[in-house]
Structure 1
Amino acid sequence: MVFEYILKQNGIHPQNDLTIDQSIDFGSTAAAFAGGNGDFTVEFEPGATSLESEQKGYVVASLGKDSGYIPYTAFCAKKSYLKENTDLIQRFTSALQKGMDYVQTHSPKEIAEIIQPQFPENDLKTIQTIVTRYYEQGTWKADLIFEKESFELLQDILLDAGELEKRVPYEDLVTTTFAKKAVK
């Protein structure tokens, strides 16, 4: 959806101007591309870096950078749970913010060394390459505050893709209370 949205924002009509093969399992797209299927592929990491390191492709653009800030990760809870577990949710949010603070104050090499055990299928060099790319692109925000502008962009993309029938008010779905407190 993000890819098609970016194409449209740049005057390219996804259904008329090119062919997008969505029949390939997402976990297999890098292998399909390396095997000769398509001229371009959309990859999450570590697929993109693997294609580069194997000299089977090149990263030419970042959808995350080109789209604007889209909250790819958000945490959801029922209003009743929020009300009954404010301390737990605040501690959870503060712990996540502590991780964001670490990312903002450490080098890609230091970050890669810390997270490497979570990605045993990748060597440290690959992880450092990925982290450096994310670092240089400004992928990680300094805080966890889900801004209204990002919420609206997400809805623009979902509406454009036909996955959302109508807009939902930001104030009805998003609370920034915990994130704002965690930043302090």
Structure 2
Amino acid sequence: MKNVRRFMSIVFSLILIFVMSACSNSDSSNKTSLSVAEVTRSVFYAPQYVAIEKGFFEEEGLEIDLKTTWGGDKTMTTLVSDGADIALVGSETSIYVHARGANDPIINFAQLTQKDGTFLVSKEPKPNFKWEDLRGSKFLGQRKGGMPQMVGEYVLKQKGIDPQSDLELSQNVDFANIPNAFQTGDYEYVQLFEPTASVFEKEGNGHVIASFGEASGKVPYTVFMAKQSFLEDNKETTEKFTRAIYKAQQWVEKTDATEVAEVISPYFEDTDVDIIASSVERYKSAGAFATDPILDEEEWNNLKAIMDEAGELPEDVDHGTLVNTQIAEKIISE
């Protein structure tokens, strides 16, 4: 609960100094401009970049102004203060805002990723790895209170491992410094996102041995969301946005990872295409990319169970309160 309060404190503090104008308008060519704030830049969000690069948004008459806002608190601040029309961020943030009594609720309307995006990486090869091998090991985890950490600990508990007593667990390293800390420290295991995990393998600094996403099951890990008022006032535009995302999800599902990597490579200029392809393939194999934008009730309940297990669920919020599936269902039925 401390992390919930800290999250909301940061959000509302940032709102006080955040001065931006809403960006929903039409340009001279009759395209509707939408401002989208993504929580980070990640291969995990490949369908979003595909929708831009393959022209799926353009086909719908939309022009996307994509900005990376680096963190759940900043992303939610941007959305709440009208600095963006739509945010791509973890669903847990909508629950945190709701718990503080938001007058204009943040509604999840199109899911992009349906599983955790982190992988278990070991410093040494583990060809016959079993989860119980982690007992007594030095484990470098993710930041406490974040979804990667909550999912990671949830998986370990499901495997019969108490993260606090069965591991030498470290959670005091900033997100950006975790890869270097693992490489230079005496940690035996680490929880990493792509493409860092693939880079480690290529350079011989680590070995991917398990997927937290596969182990945890489906969860609304990253979802497009907007204020309820925006959805009500921009119904047609939201449908067009969701239709473009659905086209991209279907294209990624049916397309070879190498081709996907080539399409999204402009968003990762400092990463080799073969590494991007490896990352895409790993996410496809884990079933991490949602193949349609519907956030169903089972996934929502799984999210709440993970948050509750971590002591971070501020209140029990029904699926229908913060999730709109009608938009996605209409698009899929077309």
Specify the TM-score bucket, using the shorter chain as the normaliser. Answer: over 0.9
- Equivalent positions of 1:103-114 (< 5 A) are 103-114=252-263
| 2:200 is equivalent to residue 55 of structure 1 | no
Aligned partners of 2:325, 2:302: CA distance in 1, in Å? 17
- Give percent identity, aligned residues only: 40
| 2:190 is equivalent to residue 41 of structure 1 | yes
Counterpart among 261, 275, 287 of residue 138 in structure 1: 287
Aligned partners of 2:271, 2:283: CA distance in 1, in Å? 16
Aligned partners of 1:8, 1:131: CA distance in 2, in Å? 28
Q: Hey, which bits of structure 1, 4+ residues long, moved more than 4 A?
A: none
1:165 CA displacement: 2.9
Pairs aligned (count): 184
1:166 CA displacement: 2.7
Counterpart among 284, 289, 307 of residue 158 in structure 1: 307
Aligned partners of 1:80, 1:141: CA distance in 2, in Å? 26
Which residue number in structure 2 is paired with residue 8 of structure 1? Answer: 157
Check conservation: 1:46, 1:130, Cα contact below 8 A.
yes
Check conservation: 1:71, 1:150, Cα contact below 8 A.
yes
Which residue number in structure 2 is paired with residue 17 of structure 1? Answer: 166
Aligned partners of 1:109, 1:50: CA distance in 2, in Å? 16
| 2:188 is equivalent to residue 28 of structure 1 | no
Aligned partners of 1:165, 1:83: CA distance in 2, in Å? 27
Aligned partners of 1:111, 1:24: CA distance in 2, in Å? 32
Which residue number in structure 1 is paired with residue 21 of structure 2? Answer: none
Aligned partners of 1:51, 1:36: CA distance in 2, in Å? 14
| 2:240 is equivalent to residue 91 of structure 1 | yes
- Counterpart of 1:136, as a letter, is S
Structure 1 regions of 5+ residues with no counterpart?
none
Aligned partners of 1:34, 1:150: CA distance in 2, in Å? 34
1:76 CA displacement: 2.0
1:43 CA displacement: 0.3
Q: Which has the higher helix share?
A: 1
1:121 CA displacement: 1.3
SS state at 1:59 partner: strand
Aligned partners of 1:92, 1:54: CA distance in 2, in Å? 39
Q: TM-score, normalised by structure 1?
A: 0.95
Structure 2 regions of 5+ residues with no counterpart?
1-149
1:51 CA displacement: 1.0
- Counterpart of 2:216, as a letter, is S
Q: TM-score, normalised by structure 2?
A: 0.54
Which residue number in structure 2 is paired with residue 127 of structure 1? Answer: 276
- Counterpart of 1:164, as a letter, is L
SS state at 1:41 partner: strand
| 2:232 is equivalent to residue 70 of structure 1 | no
Which residue number in structure 1 is paired with residue 250 of structure 2? Answer: 101
Aligned partners of 1:102, 1:127: CA distance in 2, in Å? 17
